[in-house]
Each structure stands twice: as C-alpha cells, then as structure tokens.
Structure 1
Amino acid sequence: MITDARVLQAEFSPKEVEHRDQEVDVLSSALEPIVAGQPGETALIFGPSGAGKTCIAQFTVGRLQEAVGEMNQQYVNCWQDYTRFRVLYRVLEGIGRAADVHRQSTPRDELLERLRKYDGPQYVVILDEVDQLEDPRVLYDLYRMSNISMVLITNREEELFAQMDERLSSRFGSSVRIQFERYTLDELVSILSARARWGLVADAVGRQELALIGDAAAGDARVAIGILRNAAHRASREGVDEISVDVVHQSIPDGKDEVRQKTIEQFTEHQQILYNVLVDAGETQPGELYDLYCERVDDPKTRRTIRNYLSKMDHYKLVVSDGNGRNRTYRLR
C-alpha cells in the first residue's frame, strides 16, 4: 500500500505547501534583502505545535536559496542543541568550519571568532524551538554577525521574551512576527489527501476516512500524518488494499502515542527527570513538584525554568494543569 514512506513522515518537506501562502509571503519579504546581498530581517514564527511552522520556514528558506544561488543555510533544533556552545557549533558546521572543533576543549570565544571572520555569502540560520535555549545570549551573538539572518521558531513568543534580558528584548522586539493558527479540518484533509496521493497506492483512502483522521488530530498536522501512517501500516499488515473507517479508529491511539513519544525523546536531561517525577507522583502542586525534582538532581534548575518546562509540556499536551496560583496542580495527560 505504501509507495513512498518518506512523505508519511511529519518531517518531510514537500515541494509545494498548502494553506500557508500568507505566512510564506511575509517570511519571504523579511528575507528579501538577501537577494541584494544584504542580511534579512530577523523573523519570529510562533504558534501551536503541528501548525506547519518548521515546514514553512525550511520551504521558504530553501526556495530563497534556489533563487539566490550564493547563500548558505542551517537548521538548528534547540531541543537537541540547547547550549550556547552547541548552537555556535551547529552554525559553524553549516559553513564547514567546525571539523576541528573539540566539544570538550575548544573555547567558546574561538567559535565566536570564527563566525566573526566568516566573509562568505549571506547565511540564514533557522533556530527551531528557540525557547529551549539555556542561554539566550547566543541569539545576541548571532545578531551581531553582519551576514547572518535568523528565523526563530517558538510556540509562544511571550515565553521566549520572558527569558531575555532588556538588551535582548530591545533587539528582538522589532522582529517580523508571523503567527500560525491551527489547521482547520478542511485544510488537514487537503494536506492528508496530498500525502496519500504521493505516498500510497491509488484510492487507498477516501475523504470520509481522511476527515475522521483530521478530526481526531484537532488541527495538528503532525498527529494527522502520524495517524495516516499508522493506518497505512495496519491495513498492509491486514492484507487489505484500502484504509477503512475501522482501521482509522484502531490507528488513532497509536498515531497520537507515536507523536507523544517522539516529543518525550527530545527532552533534555532535566526535562526527562521532571517528567518522570510526574509519572511517579501523579497530580502534584508546583512547590511539591519542584522539591521532588530537586531530590533527583545535583544541579537543579530555577523554579522559573521548571515552570517553563511545565508550560512546554502542557503546550505539547503531555501534561494538564488545573487551577490557578497556589491551587494549581499538574498531572500527566
């Protein structure tokens, strides 16, 4: 049934995108100075998970590179590269200047000096999940580089700016803001229909089944694609040549759980410990949760950082927060 497994992955970047023309146009305008050999404006993309933020950023920057020719680009996932050193390393890697960098012994100042000496073509750096950065000062490091343009991706802009000092806030307060909304049901059905057309045999799934998947995904394209992929695998195992309503119903829990697990696997060490505390403790108030977390680590993060972690988990529908202030509690979803 599956003819091209790549297109059934949420990370797949299609050659054409749907339902995000306005967002593509705004980002393209922000980066347009690059065509004339000048750095683009810093762009801040924000909105819920599964709304196409990463896909649109990569699509737009890729299209710009095709048009310009002489341009470099690099994608940095700040879930994985969340320290100042790791981000600088990845940025240098994108221009081939990190081969002899030793993560344990090379001073950070040397990485900065290498970037300052970069005199190649304009360079666009996409920083995804940028609110995950442990030290936002790296954004200022990159901001000061004359031929580096940044595209910042986050879920909530207020959480990103809450981590910045006044200097950073003043620099990035004038960024081009591009807000993404959740996909509507019809938009999700259209996206899924294209994925099915590219990745499945003809007539493998009908509109009724795609609408059922879209409804279960509640506006999240990652979840929708995950359910479709699981449904295709299930139908193949059962030896049938089309995805039925029953197969979709059976695939919804697996599709959602798969996306959930991928998110958990991206956690930093401290986020994983905090999540495990919730697994063991059940519904817990913030103060008690913080104390339990501190018992498991030698170098605990601040209460503010832990609140940010919990907010991130809430956004990704991994935990549920109930109540306000002192009466607030957190529990696994």
Structure 2
Amino acid sequence: MIENGAVLDTDTTREEVIVERSEPFQTLVSTLSRYLNKGGGRGAFITGPSGAGKTMLAERLQEQLRRERMAMESAYVNVWEYSSTSEVLVTALDEVGRHMNYDQRGTPHAELRRLLREAHDDPLLLVLDEVHQIEEPALVGQFLRMDGVFTVLICNDRFDLTRRLDRTSRVSGLRHVHLEAYRAETIERILRERIEFGLESGSVTDEFVLEVAALVEGDARLAIEALGVGVDDARSNNVRPIPGHWAEGAVDEAREIIRQRPLSRLNQTQRAIYEELLDCGGWVQMGTLDERLMARGIDVSRQTIRRHLDSLDHYNLCEQKGQTKGKRYRCVTG
C-alpha cells in the first residue's frame, strides 16, 4: 500500500502545498529581500491556528535561500524543546557556528550572544518556532536589535508573546503574516497529493478523503495524521481501500496521538504541573497547585506557573475556566 512513507509524516511538506500559501509566502520573501537589499525591517511574525502551515512557510523560506544561493545563513530553533536563554542561543550557535568551541553550560549569556553575532559572515535568518514558550522574553528583543539577524517568530497568537514583552522589544514593527485555517477543499487537495505521491493507486476511497477533510476543521497536520492512522489500520486488517466510515475513528485517534506527543517534550516544571493536575483529578485553584509544587521542591513564581499552564492548555494537556483569582485548572486525559 505504501510507496513513499514520507507522505504520512506530518513534518514532511509537498512542493505543491505552497501554492495554497503563495501570497503569505511571497510577503515573507519580499520582506526578507527588502531587509537584505535596503536593511529595512528586522523580521516577521507568523501566526495562525495549529496545522495552518506556519512552520512549513518558515521551512520554505529557508529552502528559498538555499535554492537561490542567497548570501544568507539560517538557523531554526524549536522553543518548545529549547526554551531557556542558554538553550535558544546554543541551539542557534550549533546550526551556524559548528566550528566554534565553547562551554555550552558555563558560558554567560552575553558571551553566547557575542559568539552568535560572530558565527556568521553573511546575514542570519533566525526562525524561533513556538516562540511564546520562551522563558526570558527579553531575548526576543535582543535578537531583534542584533545587527545582521532577521528573526522570524512563530506562534498561534501574537498576543501570547507580546503581552510578556516591553516596549523596547521592537515586535510591533515586524511584518505580520497571519494564516487562517485551511478550507476543507484545500485539506482534500493536500491529502490527494500525498496519496498520489506515496500510496498505491486505489488505496483510499474518495469518501475517506472527503470525510477527513470535513472533520479536521482546517488542520492539515491532523488530516495527515488521520491518513496515517487509516493506512496503519488498513494494513493491520488487510483491508483495501480504506473505507469512508473509518474517517471519524481515524481523526479521533489522530487527535489523541497529536495531543500525547508534547508530553515527551515537557520540561521539569511543566511535567510537575501536569502530574499534579493529573493526580488531583479535578479542578484545582492556583493556590492549591502552588502548594503542591512547593511540596515537590519546585519553587517558581505564580506568573511562571500561569505561563506553563497556558502552554499546557495550548497543547490540550489541561483546560482552564474562570477569571483572575477564581480561575481553576484541570488535566485533560483524553
């Protein structure tokens, strides 16, 4: 059934998909070209819901640099995985300054920033994905003020980051590219292209494709994951083609797979918060959660706890209700 397994990988993009995002992509290209030619602008902000193609656009921008052999280097940092100031700086350095020797743990932040400035001869395209996860938002402003660095910030909602920044960050001057959720017919096209490129002819019914496209609410990542679930189930049960009535179950299972994936990437504090919510088994107020964390030896501010709770909520690992002091939280388990 499978001829090219890459089509079932949500991190793999097909060349044709960029057509559906050609306008925002050209906006990014023109903004970057203006920076290179005239020095205008310091970066761009890409926002939009999950599965709307934000990371894909940034990847294509990096590909454009390589394809056109533009005099610019690039670095990508997934801030969900590397959120501290040291981790962000070291990850960027590893991509553009592999020849440099330094103590990754013991080098002061100011020295890491200096090394990053000196690690590239040409201008640097720096992509910070899931940037709202950054522990020290002041680092964003430092990047935007750094000569020779064009910074692309990616997150679902610009407010998730800007509310934590001061006025000197320069974020307000960035070119903002917002992506709406894909239309159902676009999701259908994305799936059909992947099926044609990587699956044997006749492996999937039209009904399955149409049902999945209607159920995922514009989330391409969820649709591709559901296609993978359908293929796995079909192979396990020796069924061909994948029938339309499997679509709802495939989407539900794919949604749970995506929800579980961030669990392996939680840092120590995030995991402790998640485990305490899970252990409580119901709605918990901030005071109770703070006390339980203190009992575990985790001494962080309530502002930090709220930031991590927002991140868990963002990835559907917890939910919130209420306002200000009356706000309560509970774990999402399925």
* Counterpart position of 1:52: 53
Change (3 A) 1:215 1:269: farther
Paired residue type of 1:283: W
Output the CA distance in 1 between the equivalents of 2:329 and 2:8: 33
Asked if 1 retains the 8 angstrom alpha-carbon contact of 2:35 and 2:42, the reply is: no
Paired residue type of 2:113: L
Q: CA deviation at 1:119?
A: 5.3
Q: CA deviation at 1:150?
A: 0.6
Asked if 2 retains the 8 angstrom alpha-carbon contact of 1:39 and 1:146, the reply is: no
Change (3 A) 1:118 1:38: farther
CA deviation digits over 1:175-213, x for unaligned, max 9?
111112222222211211112222211122133211222
| 1:270 has 2:239 as partner | no
Paired residue type of 1:160: L
Paired residue type of 1:94: E
* Counterpart position of 1:5: 5
Q: Name the stretch that deviates more: 116-125 or 142-151.
A: 116-125
Q: Name the stretch that deviates more: 149-158 or 243-252.
A: 243-252
| 1:66 has 2:72 as partner | no
SS in 2 for 1:105: coil
* Counterpart position of 1:182: 181
Q: How does 1:173-212 map to 2 (within 5 A)?
A: 173-212=172-211
Q: CA deviation at 1:37?
A: 8.1
Asked if 1 retains the 8 angstrom alpha-carbon contact of 2:43 and 2:152, the reply is: yes
Output the CA distance in 2 between the equivalents of 1:134 and 1:325: 22
TM-score when scaled to structure 1? 0.91
CA deviation digits over 1:8-36, x for unaligned, max 9?
11111322324212211221121113553
Q: Name the stretch that deviates more: 13-22 or 54-63.
A: 13-22
CA deviation digits over 1:69-95, x for unaligned, max 9?
332111100011111111111222222
Q: CA deviation at 1:151?
A: 0.4
Paired residues in the alignment total: 330
SS in 2 for 1:19: helix
- Structure 1 residue runs of 5 or longer lacking an equivalent are none
CA deviation digits over 1:144-187, x for unaligned, max 9?
3321111000122112012212322xx11111111122222222
* Counterpart position of 1:110: 111
| 1:227 has 2:230 as partner | no
SS in 1 for 2:77: strand
* Counterpart position of 1:82: 83
Asked if 2 retains the 8 angstrom alpha-carbon contact of 1:115 and 1:145, the reply is: no
TM-score when scaled to structure 2? 0.90
SS in 1 for 2:116: helix
Q: Name the stretch that deviates more: 212-221 or 262-271.
A: 212-221
CA deviation digits over 1:228-285, x for unaligned, max 9?
1011011011122311124334433321111111122222221111111111112223
Q: CA deviation at 1:40?
A: 5.6
- Structure 2 residue runs of 5 or longer lacking an equivalent are none
| 1:286 has 2:289 as partner | no
